[in-house]
Amino acid sequence: MVRDEGERMKHARMKLPVSILLFSVSQILAFNNVIVTQKEVEIGVGETASITFHIKNHTSSTLNQTRIQLSQSPYITNPDVVLVDNWWANVTVTGERPVAGEILEALNCTTDGEDVCSLDLHDAYSRITVIRSHWLAILIQIVGWTYFAAWSVSFYPQMYLNFKRKSVVGLNFDFLSLNLVGFGAYAMFNLLMYYNSHVKSIYSMENPRSPPPVLLNDVVFAVHAFLACFVTILQCIFYERDQQRVSTKCIILIIGLVSFGFVSVVVTVLNKITILDFVVSLSYIKMAVTCCKYFPQAYFNYQRKSTVGWSIGNILLDFTGGSLDILQMVLQAINVNDWSAFYANPVKFGLGFVSIFFDIIFMIQHYALYPDAEVPHNEYHGVDNPDPDSIVRDAEHGGADNESMESTDPIIVHD
């Protein structure tokens, strides 16, 4: 019986690629298939929109008088049945109540002289969003692009600070290493989910009529973030360092994360899981990194009693991006009267709060706990470091008392 069960599992795994191929080919060669030209529609409460159904690759002229039965919803108003005329049918939809992604679909069809529906209705649907306010929708777009820009630019203050000081003293290498691994996994996740047709076919089969989970801006952000982390790592190689190194604990964690990814590749090659499952496993690596990457830098600042060398500009931009991300979620929930994004996806919401929480800790360290730290390479004047002029003036007024300058000796930080 065990052998028979193994054979059945083997055949099931072999059927999956075949079913994906048939699914893809059927979308190209389907006859009498009904499509909707407006896949995504957004209207306000009380407003109307016209949605067009079209019969493609028709095989019989009798289908030109087909009646299509439509779905009904309390959020939108539309006819129960629409008549196809010259291979087209227009449906007027009215928004009744706020909702996100309500599906209007063709359920069945009737044609004179035929007992069964001769049309392929698989792709005959449209996602309709009914919003409270178009002005609020515009604000949501502005907030979205603003946090995207803030997160994208947030990598540059640290790179500029390193370049200006020609030193990376103050940076924790555990944070940098985990960031590189996390964004590397995240970039692979977005690239495969957006470009790999095999992955997209499996996703379409497992999540029919769902919008794509990854957009082009997601791909651009992830790849850009990985490259920025890589450049920062290069700066650590060529610029002055103290005694920073990647800790043993961090190395063990990175080995564990990479091993998890490698095992996922192996079981995918062995057809134990689908390639979509492998891609999703990459997102788990990014989640794990986000949960733990901030601890080393926060503790490192505590040990040094200083944030010099750690760019506060990076933190301010990251805090801005994270706060605006949550604000956009709130505005979207208000506009469509749907708060499921907060409890249906608690992981995403929780990770956002983890980042904001540590950003607040870093700001407290920089502005409240260690605002006047005296360490080497403090000459970069700006928001990233305290004003060095006051330190020099205090030393000069001290006369021959050279002990006042002893605090500017290099601080040796043992990892």
pLDDT tier at 349, thresholds 50, 70, 90: confident
The pLDDT tens digits of the residues spanning 204-256 come to 888 887 888 888 999 999 999 999 999 999 999 999 988 889 999 999 999 99
> Which of these three, 79, 114, 131, is where a domain ends?
131
Do 82 and 194 lie in a common domain?
no
Query: Phi and psi of 159, rounded to 5°?
Result: -65, -40
Same domain, residue pair 226 and 208: yes
pLDDT of residue 371: 86
The pLDDT of residue 387 is 45
Residues 116 and 166 in one domain: no
| Residue 94, domain member (yes or no) | yes
Among candidate residues 163, 158, 152, 225, the one with its CA nearest the CA of residue 189:
225
Structural domain contains residue 17: no
- Tell me: do 38 and 120 sit in the same domain: yes
Tell which wins on pLDDT, 354 or 347: 354
Q: CA distances (Å), 287 to each of 179, 185, 348, in order?
A: 11, 10, 9
Predicted confidence (pLDDT) per residue in 117-165, tens digit: 888 898 899 999 999 999 999 999 999 999 999 999 999 999 999 999 9
Neighbours of 181 (CB within 10 A): 23
Check if the beta carbon of residue 47 is closer than 8 Å to that of residue 95.
yes
* Residue 83 located in a structural domain: yes
Mean predicted lDDT score pLDDT of the chain = 83
Q: Looking at the predicted structure, is the pLDDT value of residue 116 above 60?
A: yes
Domain presence at residue 388: no
In a domain? residue 332: yes
Average confidence (pLDDT) over 8-35: 54
The β-bridge relationship of strands 48-56 and 88-95 is: antiparallel
User: Same domain for 364 and 293?
Assistant: yes
Domain housing 192 = 134-369
Nearest Cα neighbor of 227 from 194, 186, 256, 259 is 186
CA dihedral 96, 99, 101, 102 (to 10 degrees): -50
In a domain, 22, yes or no: no
Tell me, what CATH number does 120's domain have? 2.60.40.10
Reported as a single tens digit per residue, the pLDDT across 363-413 is: 999 999 988 766 554 544 444 444 444 444 454 454 444 444 444 444 444
* 299 vs 226: CA distance, rounded Å: 24
Residue at which a domain ends, from 101, 131, 161: 131
**Alpha-helix residue ranges (DSSP H) falling in 45-132:** none
What does the block give as tokens for 4?
Answer: 């028979």
The Cα 323–Cα 315 span in angstroms is 12
Instruction: Reply yes or no on whether the pLDDT at 14 is more than 90.
Output: no
Residue with tokens 């986000």: 290
Mean pLDDT check: name the lowest of 13-17, 70-74, 157-161, 261-265: 13-17
Give the model confidence (pLDDT) of 168-216 as tens digits: 999 999 999 999 999 999 999 999 999 999 999 999 888 887 888 888 9
Domain count, the chain: 2
